[in-house]
Structure 1
């Protein structure tokens, strides 16, 4: 089952490095503003977007496989029908203990696979909202 407990969410929010899949270079979009908020609150944000060269003055990775840094949280800003492939990419990594899907984004089967692999999953929640509420 996805994480819903406030204490577990607080522990997850203590992580530092967030790979944002679907991070946008367009100010005003949630996929830009929420990662910007996370950066402003001390998180190391790694933008993952094959259609952007640079976001937040940082080179954007084309995929999770292209991220050299260790990832604590994979934050997903892509449609629900793309979650399965993103989770598979996260599971291919030794790191990324947490997969977080933003509001309205869920895939029960992919969540089950991630949890069976020992990953924590937060789904259908906004990381910014939860950070403001709990931290």
Structure 2
């Protein structure tokens, strides 16, 4: 597993798969926190057109710009497919949020040269190291 601090330091653009419309959910609060710290957030959610003031995309393949890290707020069972999509999109890292882990997703990501972090909260790590962009 990659060092979370190093992944955050090297990243600016974060595509968030499963970014929620509900401000009470971590899948909304954490990306909002990262956005406040200067990270560029790209929502990936097929059920809405805009989140956090940014256009939302139905799939990673629809994102029209380079992605540094794909942050995942979806069940572990979906992680391998998201890992394949992250590889195809040319992302540099795959980050599975706290409570999400997948040996298969790890194998897919690391075999393709992506940095991989699992079962860690990106918001907690951003605060811990006070990383801003």
TM-score, scaled relative to structure 1:
0.92
User: Please, which of 17, 28, 42 is the counterpart of residue 13 of structure 2?
Assistant: 17
For structure 1, list consecutive stretches of 5 or more residues without a partner in the other structure: none
1:5-51 CA-to-partner distances (Å, cap 9, x unmatched) read xxx32221121000000001111110000000000000000000001
Secondary structure of the 2:41 match is: strand
1:54-93 CA-to-partner distances (Å, cap 9, x unmatched) read 1012211000000001100000000000001100111112
Secondary structure of the 1:18 match is: strand
2:37 aligned partner: 41
> Would you say how many aligned residue pairs link Structure 1 and Structure 2?
129
TM-score, scaled relative to structure 2:
0.93
Report whether the alignment pairs 1:30 with 2:26. Answer: yes
Tell me the distance in 1 between the aligned counterparts of 2:74 and 2:105: 14
1:111-126 map, 5 Å: 111-126=106-121
Secondary structure of the 1:92 match is: helix
Secondary structure of the 2:22 match is: coil
Moved over 6 A (4+): none
For structure 2, list consecutive stretches of 5 or more residues without a partner in the other structure: none
Across the aligned residues of Structure 1 and Structure 2, the Cα RMSD in angstroms comes to 0.9
Report whether the alignment pairs 1:73 with 2:52. Answer: no
Q: For structure 1, which segment, 50-59 or 60-69, has the greater mean C-alpha deviation from structure 2 after superposition? A: 50-59
